[in-house]
């Protein structure tokens, strides 16, 4: 099996984290790419599980030593994907799921052109506000900052391979799984495996025909 590298992006409040968690709870063949960040911990978040929380000096050092696959400043904080996450997923033959912003998605495409990119859209402007208020993790200033960034994120939609509208969560998850299932079967991704399977079938058919001739 070849590991897929999947980027899930979209404006704040679209439901990226919720969708990623749902998928990961169901599928053992997926690994969540735990990012590094300088932002502070939210209630309920765990260091090393949701993010690797660190100060700017440590983050800058990881960038300097080439340990980040990509990184970007989002809402005034730094976020980055440790290269090690990709190495680990490939070693374990798991698909790696990255929940990153559009700047990061561009950088990943630059270094890993086979990346599968999915853009998550909220069903409406009103629902984004409702969901962000409901999450309750930002004050009014931070909320407005996230909505301003959302405008820029939304303009990048055409750069992505797939778009999902996250109205009803379960339906979104089913659609995501359908995309992943077809991507897993792509001949270009299966590569040698597909050719070997087809070659083996040629031999099996010849053998079956010979056996049939023998019995006639």
* Contacting positions for ligand ADP (CB under 6 A): 10, 12-18, 131, 134-135, 166, 168-169
Contact 81, 104 (CB under 8 A): yes
The minimum distance between CB 136 and ligand ADP, in angstroms, equals: 8
What mask of x and - would describe binding to ligand 5GP in positions 113 to 132, judged by CB under 6 A?
--------------------
- Of residues 6, 85, 99, 164, which one binds ligand 5GP by CB under 6 A? 99
Q: Which partner from the list ligand ADP, ligand 5GP, none does 169 bind, CB cut-off 5 to 8 Å by kind?
A: ligand ADP
- Of residues 3, 38, 81, 166, which one binds ligand 5GP by CB under 6 A? 81
Site for ligand 5GP in 136-155 (CB under 6 A): none
Sheet containing 30-32: give its strands across: 30-32, 95-99, 5-9, 116-121, 162-165
Angle, helices 125-135/140-154, rounded to nearest 10 degrees: 140
83 binds ligand 5GP (CB under 6 A): no
Sheet containing 35-37: give its strands across: 51-53, 35-37, 77-82, 68-74
103 binds ligand 5GP (CB under 6 A): yes
CA distances from residue 163 to 10, 35, 154, 159, 179 in whole angstroms, order as listed: 9, 23, 11, 10, 10
101 binds ligand 5GP (CB under 6 A): yes
The minimum distance between CB 25 and ligand ADP, in angstroms, equals: 14
Quick one: DSSP state of residue 158? G
Q: How many C-beta atoms lie closer than 10 Å to residue 129's C-beta? A: 14
Interface residues with ligand 5GP (CB under 6 A)?
12, 16, 35, 39, 70-72, 74, 79-81, 99-101, 103-104
């Amino acid at each position: 099996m070849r590991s897929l590298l999947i980027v899930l992006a979209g404006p704040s409040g679209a439901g990226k984290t919720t969708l990623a968690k749902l998928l990961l709870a169901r599928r053992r063949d997926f690994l969540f790419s735990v990012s590094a960040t300088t932002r502070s911990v939210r209630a309920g978040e765990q260091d090393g599980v949701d993010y690797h929380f660190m100060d700017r000096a440590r983050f800058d050092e990881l960038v300097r030593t080439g340990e980040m696959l990509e990184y970007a400043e989002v809402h005034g904080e730094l976020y980055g994907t440790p290269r090690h996450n990709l190495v680990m997923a490939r070693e374990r033959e798991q698909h790696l799921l990255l929940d990153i912003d559009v700047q990061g998605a561009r950088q990943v495409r630059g270094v890993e052109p086979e990346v599968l990119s999915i853009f998550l859209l909220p069903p409406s402007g009103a629902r984004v506000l409702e969901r962000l208020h409901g999450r309750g993790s930002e004050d009014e200033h931070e909320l407005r900052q996230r909505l301003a960034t959302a405008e820029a994120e939304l303009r990048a939609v055409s750069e992505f391979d797939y778009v999902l509208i996250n109205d009803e969560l379960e339906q979104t998850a089913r659609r995501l799984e359908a995309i992943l299932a077809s991507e897993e079967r792509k001949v270009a991704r299966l590569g040698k495996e597909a050719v070997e399977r087809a070659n083996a079938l040629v031999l099996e058919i010849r053998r079956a025909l010979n056996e049939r001739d023998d019995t006639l």
